[in-house]
Each structure stands twice: as C-alpha cells, then as structure tokens.
Amino acid sequence: MADQLSKVFAALADPTRRDMVARLSLADATVNELAEPYQVSLQAVSKHLKVLEDSGLVSRTRDAQRRPVHLEDNVFDLMTKWIERYRQQAEERYQRLDSVLAQMDADEVTDDSDPGAASVRGPEDDSPQLTHGRSRKGA
Amino acid sequence: MADQLSKVFAALADPTRRDMVARLSLADATVNELAEPYQVSLQAVSKHLKVLEDSGLVSRTRDAQRRPVHLEDNVFDLMTKWIERYRQQAEERYQRLDSVLAQMDADEVTDDSDPGAASVRGPEDDSPQLTHGRSRKGA
DNA sequence: GTTGCGATCAACCAATTGGTTGAATATGAG
DNA sequence: CTCATATTCAACCAATTGGTTGATCGCAAC
C-alpha cells in the first residue's frame, strides 16, 4: 500500500539509505559491499534495501549467490516533477500582484466557498482521505 | 535531531502533508482552512503542520488568534540539489565506458581497499553511523 | 469578566520502523 | 554430499508515527 511517491520520499528520509543511494550512483554493489561501511548488521542492511527496492529506487538481479543492487535513476524524475510543480507555483505567487489581492481577499472572507483553495492536486497526484464537505466535528 | 534533509523527506512521505504543501503553494492558509478538506481531527492537522514546520517546509506567523501557515519554497532546493547530484552521477555511468571497466574490476577484486566506493558523500551530506573499517560480525 | 473561536498541549493507542539475534535458503566449491 | 558464502526470513524489541479525545491557552467580542 501507499503510492510510490510516498514510498520514495520515505525511503530517502533515512540517512543510511541516502548514503546507499549515493554510493549506488557510482556503481552497482552487492549487499555485503553495501553493508561494509556501516555499523549495523547485514540483516538491517538487507531490510534497508527492501525498502529501497519496493520504493522503486533500486532493483536487484542475481549473479550466483550474489544479488547486485542497481540504482533505478528514473524514479528521481517522479520526485523532481512533484517538487518542481509546487515550487514553481509558490514562486509565481511572488511575482504576480494577484497573489497579494488573493491573500487580502482570503483574509476578509475567511469562510467563503473559496473555489480552488482546497485540493489543487493535478493528474498524477495521490489522494489522501478527503471529505471536502466539512463533516468533521462541529463544522 | 536528524538532519534537515531527512526531516524534509520524511515530511513529504505523507500524502496528506504533500496535499497541504500543494495547497499552500497557491496561498497561505490558517490551520482551520487547511484542515477543512480532510477527515481527520484539527489536532491531527496541527501535528502534521508541526512536522512540516520543523522540517523547515512551512513557517507560521501570528494574526490575532489565527496562525497563517506559509510555504517556505526555498527548502525545495535542498532536495532538488541532493536528487540532481546523484541522478546525474547515475546517468553519467551509462555514457562513459569507464563504468563498464570499473564494474568488471570491482567484480574481480571484490574485497580490495577500493577508494571511492564507500561513502561518496560530499560537502553538504549527512553522516549515518559508519565504521568504514569492517569491524562488524566475523569480518 | 465571561463567552466563543482558533489552535495547541497532554495522555493514550495501534501500527510502523529500524534495529537485534538465530535459523533458513540458495548457490558455487571441494 | 558437505561445506562455505551471500542473503533472506522470522521473532522479538524499543522508539516513532499518525490518529484519537479532553483539557488548556490566546485573543477578540459582547
């Protein structure tokens, strides 16, 4: 469960896992090779790799009893696309005078129907549990 | 604790939090406004915002009893920089013949001192618990 | 001052996470 | 077949996470 974007971000939230990705960007490596610099057990590294694997960040093939780990660089695009989208949107806000007006407007109405403020999500986005019809609590 | 990069990635690993960031890229909003579309309690949203806040992704100011949340778009650069660095490195691997040789070489020596294979980390990178001197297990 | 709204704090709970150790599996070497 | 190597599976544990409800705080309005 959980969309890929969530899994990729979660995978990279761990410094050890980020370090592994960094090293894999230079060359494929086996589990043992990857484990070498860290203090943790081989099994712990294996777990980290499973996380990376089912986030789609790495893939494993088989070479005798070795399982070389390979970085799937294409997954980075998924993140970059998400990040860039909202970064751009945020940046635009500072260049248009619109934003200032919208801000003041939002400040005044506060509880208006406000179309467009809720759930901007676009084509490839994921859906958290929504209600959108204020059914929570005393609303 | 935990470096900012870890905190930012962790913060964005949650779909609800990503949705909030998406909405905040359009306009600042109060906690109540942000909470509106979701099924969860106001307190849960408040917690999500705390996570976003101490990852540096958002900041909060004060306006009477309201606490408008503002997206700090500059933090995106931190991620983008990290991602791009390793993506590029991985991509270069496919364009240089070097990579093939390095790969075969690594395959042969396997337990060589191998400078550069362990911990590629650069200037701004974080440090997971390392040993680097194979002190683990029976090694 | 008291009421009411916006937001947070506190205590609690179930599920997940990152780690451990010990046993098992898979493959190649003797 | 047996042994060694490389890796994973399984059970367990402590800490963290995302959610809940109830109490509290800050501020403005009556």
Residues A126, A88: Cα–Cα separation, whole Å: 19
Q: Average pLDDT of chain A? A: 78
Report the CATH number at residue A63.
1.10.10.10
Count of domains forming chain B: 2
- Segments forming the whole domain that contains residue A65: 4-72
Q: What is the DSSP letter of B118?
A: S
pLDDT at residue A107 is higher than 90: no
Task: Give the pLDDT band (50/70/90) at residue A67.
Answer: very high
The gap between B72 CA and C27 C1' (Å) is 52
Q: Is strand C within 7 Å of residue A47 (CB)?
A: yes
Same domain assignment for residues B61 and B81: no
| Residue type at B5 in one-letter notation | L
Per-residue pLDDT averaged across A39-45, rounded? Answer: 96
Report the distance separating Cα B125 and Cα B82, nearest Å.
Answer: 8
Same domain for B54 and B84, yes or no, is no
Could you give the CA distance from residue B41 to residue B39 in angstroms, rounded to a whole number?
7
Domain match, A10 and A59 both: yes
Yes or no, beta carbons of B103 and A28 under 8 Å apart: yes
Rounded to two decimals, what is the model's pTM? 0.77
Query: Which tops the pLDDT comparison, B114 or A127?
Result: A127
Q: Could you tell me whether strands A58-60 and A69-71 are parallel, antiparallel, or unpaired per DSSP bridges?
A: antiparallel
Residues A12 and A44 in one domain: yes
Q: What is the pLDDT of residue B22?
A: 96
Q: Which residues pair with A130 in a beta bridge?
A: B38
Block mean pLDDT (10 aa), chain B, length 139: 92 97 95 95 97 96 91 93 90 64 51 39 51 39
Instruction: Determine which of A43-47, A81-85, A131-135, B7-11 has the lowest per-residue pLDDT on average.
Output: A131-135
Same domain, B56 and B97: no
Q: How many CA atoms lie within 13 A of A114 on its CB side?
A: 24
Query: Do A12 and A57 belong to one domain?
Result: yes
Statement to judge: residues B25 and B63 lie in one domain: yes
Touching A: B residues 52-91, CB under 8 Å:
63, 71, 73, 76, 79-80, 82-84, 86-87, 89-91
Chain A positions touching B106 (Cβ under 8 A) are: 27, 29
B22 and B60 fall within a common domain? yes
CB contact under 8 Å between B42 and A136, yes or no, is yes
Residue B43 beta carbon within 7 A of nucleic strand D: yes
Whether B56 contacts B5, CB under 8 Å? no
Percent of chain A with pLDDT over 70: 66
Q: Do B129 and A19 touch (CB under 8 A)?
A: no
Please check whether residues B27 and B13 belong to one and the same domain: yes
